[in-house]
Every structure is written in structure tokens, then in C-alpha cells.
């Protein structure tokens, strides 16, 4: 495409994004802010031979439009549709699965090293936001990549804070000089010439370098990228394609580690998202002509946040911690009410866990609200720092279970297994808002060890009672089969029990409230009565609660069936669709139980 037509292309893409995402929902503001950069990347680099990776991956919509998936955008984040994140099985242009922050530099460095060993000539490029640079893994990778000498380009998409702000006209002039090919040609040819003179030449190179560095530092503050061995280009306007293209072209020619610093506007080109970029970061379908209505109503996250305020008023030791997710975890209002007792550690879950353990060590009661899929990144710290020290840290494990359209990178299908593996960890699984309140109060005031409370994304179901005075409760009597579940899936178990009753089968429903340690006798008594046990869970099979229950029931003669996500990450789709696909919805549970009963009866005949 002629270069002069690229700005028009960017405007067309921006209009297309607003139209499509307003219908499907998705990550809007971040993609509007990266339109020009994405177009420039595909103009300068050659995907898929060159590797282009977007950190977190949710800012890949423009990339997908430009790589053959524009016609499928009506299916964005839907079952059998295109993913809202990078997905290699969807296209060869998606070089790496990416849904968690701060992994992009490590991944593309690995690709660059692999290409070198395979004698492939290619560039590796990653786009990482200033938010993702709060994660420690990004700095580990920068430390390694800067000294590699490989054709690696790290683009800092800076839409919030400035990292190495230029000062004055001379600084701007120096920045422009560094973009000129003759500057780098002279720099490296001079170094090559001086090296011919051996030790004296090396001294001359060092002297020139020191003089240049001293001069630069008079007008440009030191930045971490230069220190780590990168050539640093920028900062520049990341929403002006004519400013971006020379930077990318120069970085490609340098054929070595380069950082390009771009300032962008999150939500660019759509007034509603520019004014409220956090709110438009991830949206449901809305009317694009008037913007989207404010989120309102109850949810597990909001109940959690409201109750945190109430408990914090009762006890000054309680404080709230989040990993760059105060809005998502329901703590925005808490931040306003208790600003001195609210801590956002950035995208650094491991650090957050250990910091909480340190706070607990000196007598505070830290409550760390974090998505299940992100807490996975702090597993070592859960074990080594919170549990081994037996510190009283409370973890609000939000988005536990299936989370729908965000897909496999965000489904919280592993917390049951990894939390149950940690010695001394108390694990509560409330089903209703009332139980979430009770669980949080118990976690804060009745324990002195690590406590996790796992709850789902969204709203409560039909079950709105409070059974949390018991670790395991029989909430429906029956004689033919025992259905065991916990958390939000109790609703599916109760619906299945209703369907079974209509078919003449009485199901007893056992609700487990505490997953680490519960009244097993309630289960044993029910299993002895019915002879058939079904354990229903929204988690993977390995390490699930059902495996433990099955081992406890071994030898008592009861038939045990485990219904869960098996060995699956699960795909994009609504939560009801995911339940149905994996046989976890009420209709599927009913069918599985009836099939087992009928097969058993035939065997008897």
C-alpha cells in the first residue's frame, strides 16, 4: 500500500473496531490506542517470518484485522469464533499464546535465539505496555536480552507514565539525530576502525563513549534500557504513523537489541474511551453512538469490595492489596475510603503475595484480591512465603472457574488443585453473596494462617442461602444418588436434582463449603445410603476435590463419577456453553446420572 494512504487506513480500522467491539464486547480502549503502531509494524516487518508479539495479547485486534481475520470479527470472543488474545492455532501470524502480562520479551528473545541457531534471518518484535513493565519477569528478560546482540525490538507502548522524559530542545535534537542511518553507520564504522589499533583503540572507544554518555546525561536522564545494553529510540508520538515508521525502519536495520519508546493515547479516536480508558478497557456490547452505560448492580466482586469496607471500619489492621486490578476486583471504592490502607503492587502477583506475608508478620491483616488465573503466577510465594511462614494472609480468589469469553488464558480452572496442595491453607468456596460475606469474616477474624476464598466472575445463581456454619451441608435429601459440589456449581447440581426427581430419581445434594478440610462423615453417610456419588466441579480433573472424595470412598461399595473439565484448558465461549461442552450443565449431569443408573440396572438383569 502506498505510504501516504496509511493514515486513512488507520482511521478506517479505528471506525471498524468501534463498530464491531460495540456489538461483540471486548478490549476496546487498548486497541484504539495501538492502531497506528500495529499498521506500521506490518508495513515494516514481514509476519509471520518476522515474529510480532503483543504483551498480554488483548491489544492484538488490529493485528488480527491485518492478517486475514477481518471478516470473522463478528465472532470475536464467541464459541468457535476468533479469540480476543493471540492464538497460534487460529493463525500463523499469532506467534505465541499470550494472556498474562510481562512474558513477551522472554518469548521473543527465545524466538530470536532459536532463529540464530537454525540460521534463520528474522526479526523478533514485541509490544509491551508500561503496565506490563511493572512485572518482574519483564526486567529479567530485559537484563538477558540487552546483552544478546540479537535482532530484537522491544516497543514500549507508554500510554500512562513517562519513562525517560526528554528535557528541552537539545534533547529533542539528539533524539532526532539518533534516528538517522548515518549516525549509526558512523558510530559502528568508527568503532571497527579503532579496534584495529588494539589496546590503544579500545581506550579511544571507551573515551569517546564516556564523553558521549556524559554529554547525553546533561540533557537526557539515564534510562534502564541503555544501561542494559539496548539502543534506545524515542520517545515519539505513537499515534502518528509518520513518527513511528522511521523508528521501526531504523530498528530493523540495526539488527541488534533496540527499545522504541512510544507515547500513545489509550482509547484514541473515540471520545468516550479517551475520557474513561479504564472503563473501556474491557466492555460488553454497547451502543457506540452514545457510549456504554456504567456498570451497576451486585456481583461477587462488588459484594467482596463492599464487605471489605465494612470489616475495615471494624478493625484497623485490615488492608487491601491488588495487582493492578482494583476495578476488576471490586476495590475501587475501598481505595477511595481507605487510601492509606490500599496497595496496588502492579502486575506483580508474586511480589504481592510476599509483601502481604511481610505485612502479616508485623501484625496487619492483608487481604489480597486477585484473579484465580493471575494468582497462579504467585504459587511459589504462596508456598514459600505465606504458607511456610504460616502468615495470616487472606486471598480473595476472584474469577474462579469458567470466565466465558476471555477464554483459556483466563479460566480459573486450576485453583482447587494448586490451593489444596499447599499445607495449612484454608480454602472457602461460597455459593452466594451471603456466604461470601460470611467467608470473608471468618477468614479475617477466625484464622491465623493463610486463607483463600474462591468465588466466580459475575452474579450469584438461584441458591442465595447461607450454609457456612457447616464445612459440608446436606441441602437436599434423597435416596438414589448423591450429588456433591461447591461454589457456583451448586446451582447446576440443584437443577439436575429437580430433573432427576421428575424422572423418579431422588438425588441427595451435599454442598462442600471448605475444600481443605470438611466433615467427611456427611459424605460417607450419604454414599452409604444412595450407593452412587457424583462430584461436580468447574476445575480440571488432576488435583480436583473429587479425586480426594473418591479415595475416601474406596472400598465402601459406592459407584463414584467425577464430572469436571478433565484435562482441558477449555475454550472461548459463554460459561453456560462451556458447561454444556464439558458435560457440567444440569441437563448433562441429569443425562450422565440416568445413563449410569440404567446401565447398572441392565447389568443387574
Indicate which residues carry an active-site annotation.
Answer: 266, 349, 377
Distance (Å, whole) CA 419 – CA 543: 10
C-alpha cell at 557: 461399595
Please give the sequence-ordered ranges of beta strands (E in DSSP) within 283-388, or none if there are none: 318-322, 342-344, 365-371
Distance (Å, whole) CA 223 – CA 165: 9
Task: Decide if 86 contacts 37 (C-beta within 8 A).
Answer: no
Contacts of 505 (CB under 8 A, 6+ apart): 480, 481, 593, 594, 597
Contacts of 127 (CB under 8 A, 6+ apart): 34, 37, 41, 52, 53, 54, 55, 59, 104, 155, 157
Q: Given the DSSP bridges, would you call strands 532-536 and 559-563 parallel, antiparallel or unpaired?
A: parallel
Adjacent-strand bridge partners of 86: 98
Contacts of 532 (CB under 8 A, 6+ apart): 480, 481, 482, 558, 559, 561, 593, 596, 597
C-alpha cell at 370: 486477585
Contacts of 44 (CB under 8 A, 6+ apart): 245, 248, 249, 252
C-alpha cell at 246: 522511521
Distance (Å, whole) CA 498 – CA 492: 10
Task: Decide if 18 contacts 32 (C-beta within 8 A).
Answer: yes
Amino acid at each position: 500500500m502506498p505510504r501516504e494512504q496509511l493514515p486513512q487506513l488507520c482511521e478506517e480500522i479505528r471506525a471498524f473496531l468501534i463498530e464491531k467491539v460495540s456489538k461483540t464486547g471486548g478490549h476496546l480502549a487498548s486497541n484504539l490506542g495501538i492502531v497506528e503502531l500495529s499498521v506500521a509494524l506490518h508495513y515494516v516487518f514481514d509476519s509471520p517470518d518476522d515474529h510480532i508479539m503483543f504483551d498480554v495479547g488483548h491489544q492484538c485486534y488490529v493485528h488480527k484485522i491485518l492478517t486475514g481475520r477481518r471478516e470473522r470479527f463478528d465472532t470475536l470472543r464467541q464459541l468457535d469464533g476468533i479469540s480476543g488474545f493471540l492464538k497460534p492455532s487460529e493463525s500463523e501470524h499469532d506467534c505465541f499464546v499470550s494472556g498474562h502480562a510481562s512474558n513477551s520479551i522472554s518469548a521473543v528473545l527465545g524466538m530470536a535465539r532459536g532463529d540464530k541457531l537454525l540460521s534463520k534471518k528474522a526479526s523478533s518484535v514485541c509490544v509491551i505496555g508500561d503496565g506490563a513493565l511493572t512485572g518482574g519477569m519483564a526486567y529479567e528478560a530485559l537484563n538477558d536480552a540487552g546483552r544478546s546482540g540479537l535482532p530484537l525490538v522491544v516497543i514500549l507502548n507508554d500510554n500512562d507514565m513517562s519513562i525517560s522524559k526528554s528535557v528541552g530542545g537539545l534533547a529533542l535534537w539528539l533524539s532526532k539525530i539518533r534516528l538517522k542511518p548515518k549516525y549509526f553507520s558512523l558510530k559502528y564504522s568508527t568503532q571497527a576502525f579503532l579496534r584495529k589499533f588494539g589496546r590503544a583503540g579500545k581506550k579511544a572507544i571507551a573515551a569517546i563513549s564516556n564523553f558521549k554518555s556524559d554529554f547525553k546525561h546533561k540533557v537526557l536522564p539515564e534510562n534502564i534500557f541503555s544501561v542494559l545494553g539496548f539502543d534506545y529510540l524515542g520517545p515519539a508520538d505513537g499515534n502518528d504513523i509518520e513518527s513511528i515508521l522511521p523508528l521501526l525502519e531504523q530498528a530493523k536495520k540495526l539488527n541488534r537489541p533496540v527499545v522504541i519508546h512510544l507515547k500513545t493515547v489509550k482509547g484514541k479516536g473515540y471520545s468516550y474511551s479517551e475520557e474513561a480508558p479504564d472503563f473501556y478497557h474491557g466492555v460488553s456490547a454497547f451502543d457506540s453512538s452514545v457510549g456504554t452505560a456504567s456498570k451497576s448492580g451486585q456481583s461477587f466482586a462488588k459484594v467482596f469490595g463492599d464487605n471489605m469496607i465494612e470489616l475495615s471500619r471494624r478493625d484497623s489492621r485490615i488492608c487491601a492489596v491488588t495487582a493492578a486490578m482494583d476495578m476488576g476486583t471490586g476495590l475501587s471504592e475501598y481505595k477511595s475510603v481507605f487510601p492509606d490502607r490500599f496497595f496496588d503492587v502492579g502486575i506483580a502477583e508474586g511480589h504481592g503475595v510476599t509483601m502481604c506475608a511481610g505485612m502479616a508478620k508485623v501484625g496487619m491483616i492483608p487481604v489480597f484480591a486477585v484473579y484465580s488465573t493471575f494468582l497462579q503466577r504467585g504459587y511459589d510465594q504462596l508456598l514459600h512465603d505465606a504458607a511456610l511462614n504460616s502468615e495470616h494472609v487472606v486471598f480473595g480468589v476472584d474469577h474462579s472457574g469458567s470466565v466465558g469469553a476471555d477464554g483459556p488464558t483466563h479460566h480459573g480452572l486450576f485453583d482447587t488443585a494448586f490451593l489444596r496442595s499447599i499445607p495449612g491453607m484454608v480454602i472457602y468456596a461460597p455459593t452466594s453473596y451471603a456466604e461470601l460475606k460470611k467467608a470473608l469474616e471468618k477468614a479475617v477474624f477466625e484464622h491465623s494462617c493463610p486463607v483463600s476464598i474462591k468465588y466466580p466472575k459475575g452474579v450469584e445463581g438461584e441458591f442465595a442461602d447461607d450454609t457456612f456454619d457447616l464445612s459440608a451441608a446436606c441441602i437436599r435429601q434423597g435416596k438414589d444418588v448423591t450429588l456433591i459440589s461447591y461454589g457456583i456449581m451448586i446451582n447446576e447440581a440443584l437443577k439436575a436434582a429437580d430433573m432427576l426427581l421428575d424422572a423418579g430419581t431422588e438425588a441427595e445434594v451435599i454442598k462442600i463449603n471448605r475444600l481443605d478440610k470438611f466433615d467427611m462423615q456427611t459424605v460417607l453417610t450419604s454414599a452409604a445410603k444412595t450407593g452412587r456419588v457424583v462430584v461436580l466441579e468447574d476445575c480440571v480433573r488432576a488435583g480436583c476435590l473429587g479425586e480426594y472424595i473418591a479415595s475416601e470412598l474406596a472400598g465402601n461399595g459406592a459407584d463414584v463419577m467425577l464430572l469436571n473439565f478433565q484435562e482441558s484448558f477449555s475454550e472461548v465461549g459463554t460459561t453456560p456453553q462451556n458447561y454444556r461442552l464439558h458435560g457440567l450443565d444440569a441437563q448433562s449431569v441429569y443425562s450422565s446420572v440416568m445413563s449410569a443408573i440404567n446401565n447398572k440396572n441392565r447389568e443387574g438383569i
